[in-house]
Structure 1
């Protein structure tokens, strides 16, 4: 009869069990972190993350549309354009825009699409020209009101030292306090900024270029046109929102340009604060004052979304027989134009004019000018934007944001080309920062919005300003082109 001999437990069994448990815990922890990271990204693509408000904020090379269906098509085109330059040496330009506007934003999804598409067109033109280094676009979203500009600017700064080789920032587009602070941080880091549609005169930084005509420039053009009408005084309607730099600078600029020995701005401004809400009610309270004043000329210093509300209130004014001409700046979108219904009897005496930062309709001014060097719009520049020969009898209508988004990136690529020199090698942001200061005189950039000769203050000198009129059907009609005399 045999008896079983007990086998003592292995001395390795406990350490092996512990080691296995540790590995499992580590793998679970890593998996949790990875899953949480992926879930924290808007669509699991690129470095675009969901913030507490549910916005998709961050930077994408075309892999994320920031959960904005309206952007999907243009973002896909950017992704494809970027894919064409992934082999070989390239640098990156960030298009920094509020890409997630809300219903109450001063911008629209269509505005964002136009800015991005313009930027892409300039990127494609540069990359197909044979000039090196080639350029990739990074889409940078600081949130609908740019509230998250700090973290996005930090990421932009970091990407200078990665394979992205980021060298410049374009876009921004809005004269907001958040935009001013973002520009300050970027230029302090020696990253040049070409702000597509910023017009406020008091946003100035070393390394900031403004290709769009400033508020002063637009106000001068509006004042000149306003003086063609019989009224010799103008009533100011102005937004006092302290977070928005655009309205006050526009109001001050128009006042300075309009007032002379024969023309004055009415002392009592009609003010509203868009931050407080109830803007339509405030405009309703203004109607008796607009009717009672001795002038039919109104200068509106505010955003296009608010102009739509003001125009709507004019339908109920008691003085429907009094002619009223409203002048304003460039912050008017196609959708807002459509919302301004001027066809009713109560609106028959209302005219609306606005200055624009750019207009494809303005290209007709050069129709009979055979000399390329004296054209307001160089044929090669316009055809580069169009991607085909310019036919004056068939000029498509483009939103100004697309033209200025194009010209901003065109400026950036011109600076990159100058920094790279004949060798065409990689450059850094400091080298491009040095070059942007020299894009003037013989080195001026010729864009779809006209000549871009940047002064030492960063502003494009002698920019032409289109004057537009809103038709009864809510369309934009080109009226005239104002150009400064060249000294």
Structure 2
């Protein structure tokens, strides 16, 4: 017993010492780890030029090395751009950035973004491989402004820092949504002297005009909402006495604000006041507007209206169409006319396709369509304003640049290709003899000369810019949404009521 007691006492004491030492070691390690975490900034980087802002999981920034910003759908296109960029020798290229909300959770916008990247890359390929070795070569980078474009500030700062060597950023394209953050981003970029080419911005107040230049250096390849409304009016010859406007009351959305103003101007003398709805702050959210549209359809049935002009974003447009498909006056025919947001509906799985079979026709002013410049029986191609050859060149470039099929029905790839063509045109026109690249300030100075024989022969039609950077009498394809979701080309319409003259020189405006 004495020996056992001594062993227990000895063993217990030794065990206590060992346990104490181990506990102290663990505690010390934990303290060191905590201090290290507290004093060492968290690594928020995603890729070169890209990081996650504090409190965000989105990868925000600029990259042309193949980073897909955590969006698997963009991986192949980003990799193709990276391969092309790696072939360029330092000092021989200028950079164009494609500014887009790459990580938007909205499915329709994600599809649009992919198609724009594919179209822009197709023209990068043409610029570097099929333009008679013109200089400079073109490097393309992707710039992600995040959900709702809310992270535009750090991205714009990064782009401003890229105007020097080795990037020599000379233009920003993309710029695809007519929203307040995009307006702010365009303002900041153009005030920094960077040329900007908008792809699908159509808001009248994200533009320059007579007596006002809020965005010095901005050019656009898409018509304004006012021009879209004029083209729709010329196409439809709508009787205002049998027309009605349904409009969003939420202000601050430049697309919706200017579209409803343009539609209201074309419906002077209409007997009915507009039917109102209010979309959520994020117009891609479903909200409760479907309930409002159910009520509006009852009121529409109470009118003599045959044509309904819709001024709102695509989520609410889809809700409205679904409600009209279930209207009480099912025996009456209605035609819905709207702006280019209608192009989202073809891929919208929540659209009630049966609504389009219920004596309901939905047509919208598209920015481009693959059939617009293809002749068809009873539908000849206009002699001016664009050409079949220009569109076929786009198809050839797309096939050469991409090994994957590219969807063209929504027109986004076509417009992005044309915007990239316009940016490259200005960059190369601004490059003096014997120089490898232009000065930053010389690129936006090219916009007033993009007309006449110096016009851009776009796949969507001629791009003849007025002195304010806006396209003159740009072709507007009128597209009808078919019950199977396809987007059927109807015919071309023109803001001026007819195609431009062969010289494509904008007239002097009063």
Flag whether TM exceeds 0.5 (same fold). yes
Query: Match of 1:427?
Result: 438
- 2:312 is aligned with 1:302: yes
Q: Give 1:284 shift.
A: 1.8
Q: Give me the whole-angstrom Cα distance separating, in 2, the residues matched to 1:361 and 1:78.
A: 27
Q: TM-score, normalised by structure 2?
A: 0.80
Q: Give 1:353 shift.
A: 0.8
- 2:179 is aligned with 1:176: yes
| CA 234–456 in structure 1, closer or farther in 2 if over 3 Å, else same | same
**C-alpha deviations, 1:26-85, integer Å up to 9, x for none?**
xx9xx9899956x3112xx22111122211111111331110111111111111111121
Q: Give 1:316 shift.
A: 2.8
Which of the residues 100, 103, 107 maps onto 2:103?
A: 100
- 2:49 is aligned with 1:47: yes
- 2:227 is aligned with 1:224: no
Q: Give 1:166 shift.
A: 0.6
Query: Match of 1:479?
Result: 490
- Decide whether the 8 Å contact of 2:432 with 2:438 is kept in 1: no
Q: TM-score, normalised by structure 1?
A: 0.84
Q: Give me the whole-angstrom Cα distance separating, in 2, the residues matched to 1:100 and 1:265.
A: 44
Map 1:29-428; keep pairs closer than 5 Å: 39-42=43-46, 45-51=47-53, 52-103=55-106, 107-128=108-129, 129=131, 130-204=133-207, 205-227=215-237, 232-259=241-268, 264=270, 266-275=272-281, 277-331=287-341, 332-333=343-344, 335-336=346-347, 339-343=350-354, 347-365=357-375, 374-387=383-396, 397-428=408-439
Q: Give me the whole-angstrom Cα distance separating, in 2, the residues matched to 1:299 and 1:368.
A: 28
Which of the residues 477, 492, 496 maps onto 1:466?
A: 477
User: SS state of the match for residue 340, structure 2?
Assistant: coil
Q: Give me the whole-angstrom Cα distance separating, in 2, the residues matched to 1:367 and 1:112.
A: 34
Query: Match of 1:18?
Result: none
| CA 396–375 in structure 1, closer or farther in 2 if over 3 Å, else same | farther
Q: Give 1:177 shift.
A: 0.7
In structure 2, runs of 5+ residues without a counterpart are: 1-32, 208-214, 400-405, 501-506
User: SS state of the match for residue 316, structure 2?
Assistant: helix
| CA 321–342 in structure 1, closer or farther in 2 if over 3 Å, else same | farther
Q: Give 1:217 shift.
A: 1.1
In structure 1, runs of 5+ residues without a counterpart are: 1-27
Q: Give me the whole-angstrom Cα distance separating, in 1, the residues matched to 2:408 and 2:171.
A: 29
Q: Give 1:454 shift.
A: 0.7
- Decide whether the 8 Å contact of 2:428 with 2:438 is kept in 1: no
| CA 233–125 in structure 1, closer or farther in 2 if over 3 Å, else same | same
- Decide whether the 8 Å contact of 2:194 with 2:217 is kept in 1: yes
Higher alpha-carbon deviation: 330-339 or 398-407 = 330-339
| CA 384–368 in structure 1, closer or farther in 2 if over 3 Å, else same | farther
- Decide whether the 8 Å contact of 1:324 with 1:351 is kept in 2: yes
| CA 415–423 in structure 1, closer or farther in 2 if over 3 Å, else same | same
